[in-house]
């Protein structure tokens, strides 16, 4: 019999289909199977891992809210004419005078000049103030221990005072480091007459200062900078807006130059202290009756934390990989999905 051209080519004849496979068709195409596996992997990344990574990022932020320490380190540097603090530790609040200091146990009594040791009582209010270039210390409780052990101790009350410096009338004097160990406040309360006092002796004024804030990481207790604030002149900075003794403690000292600057009106107590307070209270001149808060919010501490930013970069990288794989999958679908099919 004569074979038709169609039958020779493997195409079905009128009587039926040919037993030969069509020309150009590969029934065992390994490339097609590999393409299908690749597409399945891409779909797995884009549909499953991408939302899981986004959920992991939200969990990290949720955990960070509870794990990141909420007590940043605040460092206070200031020049002030007055400082008050509540002594939570009498030993840490001691001030030693190696040269004579004028001790007045009661008002109107003649001051006695003698070297010795000042020790406040626990939870006593201590006030350091400058009157021109002379330091005056007052405390609501405590005692003065003369260097001469034969002399009796002097009990100190709110009416007692210690004067030290050029105007004290006790002769030689030197620089001092005055301890701060408890809730503290620097500067006098802003009042309308405070500016007028500048022409007198500007007693109690905060002259200048700054507050530097450092956050703490939750894994290795590293410190990282979180912000810095400048203090306005004439303001008052304190541990809290309520009673002073209820505020977080400060630790540090106030340096008294002993009037060595030569200008009585330029003398100031140089304060260097730190606290773990969540915020500080600030009262400004012409700032209104309510105090303002100096604090660092959660998002600021979160964005400055090196560990959290590292985790955020990792999550962002994984999400970017998911986006790239998803784009490749879409391009393959636009191209037909099966590159080896004719």
Q: 152-199, pLDDT tens digit by residue?
A: 999 999 999 999 988 888 988 888 999 999 999 998 877 655 555 554
Q: What is the C-alpha separation between 296 and 212, in angstroms, rounded? A: 11
| Lowest-confidence region among 22-31, 86-95, 244-253, 325-334 | 22-31
Helices (H), the chain: 5-8, 30-44, 50-67, 298-304, 306-334
**pLDDT-based confidence at 237, cuts 50/70/90?**
very high
> What is the mean pLDDT of the segment spanning 49-57?
66
| Lowest-confidence region among 12-26, 179-193, 255-269, 318-332 | 12-26
Cβ-contact 239, 38 below 8 angstroms: no
At 48 the three-state DSSP class reads helix
Of 62 and 295, the one with more pLDDT = 295
On the question of pLDDT at 250 being above 70, the answer is: yes
What does DSSP say about strands 269-275 and 223-231: parallel, antiparallel, or unpaired? unpaired
> What is the mean pLDDT of the segment spanning 100-105?
92
Q: What is the C-alpha separation between 101 and 162, in angstroms, rounded? A: 7
Mean residue pLDDT across the chain: 76
Residues 124, 153, 175, 91, CA torsion sign: negative
pLDDT of amino acid 169: 87
Cβ-contact 29, 331 below 8 angstroms: no
N-terminal to C-terminal alpha carbon distance within the chain: 34
> What is the mean pLDDT of the segment spanning 32-41?
52
Cβ-contact 237, 76 below 8 angstroms: yes
pLDDT of amino acid 131: 85
């Amino acid at each position: 019999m004569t074979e038709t051209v169609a039958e020779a080519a493997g195409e079905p004849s009128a009587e039926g289909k040919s037993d030969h496979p069509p020309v150009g068709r590969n029934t065992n195409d390994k490339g097609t199977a590999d393409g299908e596996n690749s597409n399945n992997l891409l779909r797995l990344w884009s549909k499953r891992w991408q939302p899981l990574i986004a959920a992991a990022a939200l969990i990290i932020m949720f955990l960070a809210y509870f794990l990141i320490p909420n007590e940043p380190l605040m460092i206070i540097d200031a020049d002030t004419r007055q400082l008050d603090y509540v002594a939570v530790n009498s030993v840490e609040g001691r001030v030693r005078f190696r040269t004579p200091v004028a001790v007045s146990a009661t008002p109107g009594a003649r001051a006695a000049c003698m070297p010795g040791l000042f020790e406040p009582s626990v939870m006593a209010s201590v006030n350091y103030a400058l009157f021109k270039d002379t330091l005056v210390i007052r405390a609501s409780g405590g005692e003065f221990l003369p260097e001469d052990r034969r002399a009796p101790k002097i009990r100190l009350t709110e009416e007692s005072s210690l004067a030290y410096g050029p105007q004290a009338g006790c002769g030689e004097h030197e620089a001092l480091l005055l301890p701060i160990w408890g809730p503290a406040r620097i500067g006098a309360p802003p009042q309308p007459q405070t500016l007028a006092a500048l022409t007198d002796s500007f007693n109690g004024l905060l002259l200048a200062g700054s507050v530097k804030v450092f956050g703490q990481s939750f894994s290795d207790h590293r410190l990282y900078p979180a912000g810095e604030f400048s203090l306005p002149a004439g303001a008052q900075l304190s541990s809290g807006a309520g009673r002073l003794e209820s505020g977080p403690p400060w630790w540090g000292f106030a340096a008294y130059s002993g009037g060595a600057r030569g200008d009585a009106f330029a003398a100031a107590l140089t304060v260097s202290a730190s606290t773990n307070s969540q915020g500080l209270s600030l009262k400004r001149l012409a700032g209104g009756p309510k105090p303002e808060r100096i604090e660092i919010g959660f998002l600021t501490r979160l964005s400055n934390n090196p560990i959290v930013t590292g985790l955020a970069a990792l999550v962002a990288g994984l999400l970017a990989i998911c986006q790239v794989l998803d784009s490749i999958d879409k391009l393959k679908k636009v191209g037909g999905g099966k590159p080896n099919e004719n």
